[in-house]
A and B are shown apart, each in its own frame.
Chain A
Amino acid sequence: MTDDTTPMTDGGTDEQARTDGGPPATVPPDDETPTWSERKEHTQGLAQLTYQYFERSRREDEDLRTESTYVERDVLGFPTWPHETLRNLAITSFFVGMIILVSAILPPHFGDPANPGSTPAIILPDWYLYWSFGLLKLDPLNPDLAVLGGNIVMSNELLGIVAHGIIFGVITLVPFLNKGSARRPVEQPFWAAVGAAGVTLSFTLAALAIQNFFPFQLELIVSLTFLLPVVAGVLTYAVLKTMREGYMYDLNRRYYMLRPPK
């Protein structure tokens, strides 16, 4: 019986001669695998913070699950599989059938070949870019934005591009501005009104893009483009507020039927 450290006849030991890296001393047995909190104690810096956060968020999740009932807890979401997926698969064939039917009934128009020499009287993109095309026709507004000595701040084209940026920026910011657990339009009349104004604005901008089809003065069309969304927003706000008052009225009435005021 020889140990790894027993000197052999050549003076060396097995320990020195071994090429396989030695016994697996660093791998702990299964029941000694470190837990998250133990790993947290051994690490430092960002890794420690990460472990700490994981621990915290897991505990928070557990608390949420154990301490609150399903009804009181916010419903964060219901599963994509199977509810949503099956429902959507069920209507797939119908939807594809609709596409094919419409394609058969309404084949696309095909115009003249491109001619760089002659500008057509009406240039229009597909319908879904009308709003964008309308933004390029905001040049009647441009003189109003003048600052120094009647010079316009930016060219008409640049105004249209900046308008695109503003619209995309505002839409992107929405979830960072509107927080809270309200979901229905009735619960948040203001944001529903903003949405209604936005939808109306997209339609009025589309109308601005095809301004030649309207027998009004251009100034009137431009004014309406920005006035109608405001009107739509105010109307939506009023309607939703009224609906909410109605709900509150019903609730109050039920409450007072139960316990009439003295």
Chain B
Amino acid sequence: MSLKKQDEMDHNAWLKTQDLTAIETVFLTTLIWLDKRLRIVDYLELLETMYYRANLQMPKSHTEQYDLDNKFWYWYPLYSLGSLSIIAYLVAAVTGALLGFYYAPSTAGAAAQGDPTAAYDSLVAIMTDVQFGFMLRSIHRWSAQFMVAAVFLHMLRVYFTGSYKEPREVNWVLGIVLIGLTLLFGFSGYVLPWKQLSFWAAQIGVEMALATPLVGEWAAQLLFGGFTLGQATLVRMYILHVFVLPFVVTGLIALHVGIVWVQGIAEPH
């Protein structure tokens, strides 16, 4: 085999023989230039598949096939509640990350009982000093409320349309776990400002944990950092809220949606 350059495929000569418009010429020249360097042709098959997937004619759904759209359209919003809770979760994640830049999980700075702590002061600073800080906190709080509401309504929709039935039991159980984690998300976020209601809500949490037999004291120490509330409680709630729960909940949501994707949407019929 010789090392002489073989150029059987003279693309440029082939280009000249074609009768092309300016746009086509530019396109093909660019394509050839890129292909010589990046071997785009190897990926063409993938691109082709994507092209056809994106341009596929939508298969008829059950409602379309039997012309039930006139009766069914008002159920559609209920069928998007799961998606809405994910959207609210994303909005809360973005605003929460921004709030995290300014928040300090610390109970330091209180000279006497009832004085503002560093955490409380950082919230006040967010609401009064930071540009758009009040709006940011407002959006974070409201998106959390919307998420919880959407999750509850989503569960009711699934229940009343019997969508949890075989073979979807696993996803129902997964959804209950997700509801519990969503409530834990809300609870831990409620504690973070370290205002009166935060403190006493956490106090009720500790008391509930301590009333549980066998695992109660262990759970109280794990979640609240002890039997009395203080700096340890705040830091644990903070880590739970911004580190543990986001990973766990995001992963479970992905699994939940993945199972829906594989199994398809259960339609009432």
Interface residues of A (CB under 8 A from B): 70, 75-84, 87-88, 91-92, 95-96, 98-100, 102-104, 106-108, 110-120, 123-129, 132-133, 136, 155, 157-158, 160-161, 168, 171-172, 174-176, 178-185, 188, 191-192, 195, 199
B124 contacts across to A, CB distance below 8 A: 110
What separation, in Å, do the CA atoms of A75 and B59 have in the docked complex? 14
Question: What's the minimum C-beta distance from B178 to chain A, rounded to whole angstroms?
Answer: 12
Cβ-Cβ contact count across A and B, 8 Å cutoff = 207
What separation, in Å, do the CA atoms of A119 and B169 have in the docked complex? 44
Are B127 and A183 touching (Cβ within 8 A)?
no
Are A83 and B91 touching (Cβ within 8 A)?
no
Are A80 and B164 touching (Cβ within 8 A)?
no
What separation, in Å, do the CA atoms of A151 and B148 have in the docked complex? 39
Are B212 and A78 touching (Cβ within 8 A)?
no
B266 contacts across to A, CB distance below 8 A: 76-77, 183
Question: What's the minimum C-beta distance from A44 to chain B, rounded to whole angstroms?
Answer: 29
Partner of A117, one of B114, B172, B173: B114
What separation, in Å, do the CA atoms of A156 and B62 have in the docked complex? 51
Is B197 an interface residue, CB under 8 A from the partner? yes
Question: 5 shortest A-B CB distances, which residue pairs?
Answer: A77-B264, A157-B211, A115-B114, A114-B199, A88-B83
What separation, in Å, do the CA atoms of A25 and B61 have in the docked complex? 51
What separation, in Å, do the CA atoms of A95 and B139 have in the docked complex? 13
Are B91 and A96 touching (Cβ within 8 A)?
yes
Are B166 and A175 touching (Cβ within 8 A)?
yes
Question: Can you name the residue of chain A whose Cβ is closest to the Cβ of B258?
Answer: A80
B183 contacts across to A, CB distance below 8 A: 128-129, 132
Partner of B267, one of A75, A111, A182: A75
Are A168 and B180 touching (Cβ within 8 A)?
yes
Partner of B139, one of A70, A103, A128: A103
B107 contacts across to A, CB distance below 8 A: 114
Are B110 and A76 touching (Cβ within 8 A)?
no
Given A103-B135, A111-B195, A136-B208, A117 contacting B113 (CB threshold 8 A): yes
Are A87 and B134 touching (Cβ within 8 A)?
no
Are A76 and B197 touching (Cβ within 8 A)?
no
Is B269 an interface residue, CB under 8 A from the partner? yes
Is B201 an interface residue, CB under 8 A from the partner? yes
What separation, in Å, do the CA atoms of A175 and B170 have in the docked complex? 9
Are A78 and B265 touching (Cβ within 8 A)?
yes
Are B268 and A184 touching (Cβ within 8 A)?
yes
What separation, in Å, do the CA atoms of A212 and B261 have in the docked complex? 46
Are A79 and B59 touching (Cβ within 8 A)?
yes
Are B187 and A125 touching (Cβ within 8 A)?
yes
Is B200 an interface residue, CB under 8 A from the partner? yes
What separation, in Å, do the CA atoms of A81 and B160 have in the docked complex? 23
A96 contacts across to B, CB distance below 8 A: 87, 91
Given A83-B265, A99-B143, A78 contacting B200 (CB threshold 8 A): no
A132 contacts across to B, CB distance below 8 A: 183
Given A87-B80, A103-B135, A183-B161, A158 contacting B211 (CB threshold 8 A): yes
Q: Which of B10-18, B30-38, B115-123 contacts A (4 or more CB under 8 A)?
A: B115-123
A115 contacts across to B, CB distance below 8 A: 113-114, 196, 199
Are A179 and B264 touching (Cβ within 8 A)?
no
Are B138 and A107 touching (Cβ within 8 A)?
yes
What separation, in Å, do the CA atoms of A115 and B113 have in the docked complex? 6
Are B190 and A83 touching (Cβ within 8 A)?
no
Question: Can you name the residue of chain A whose Cβ is closest to the Cβ of B144?
Answer: A126
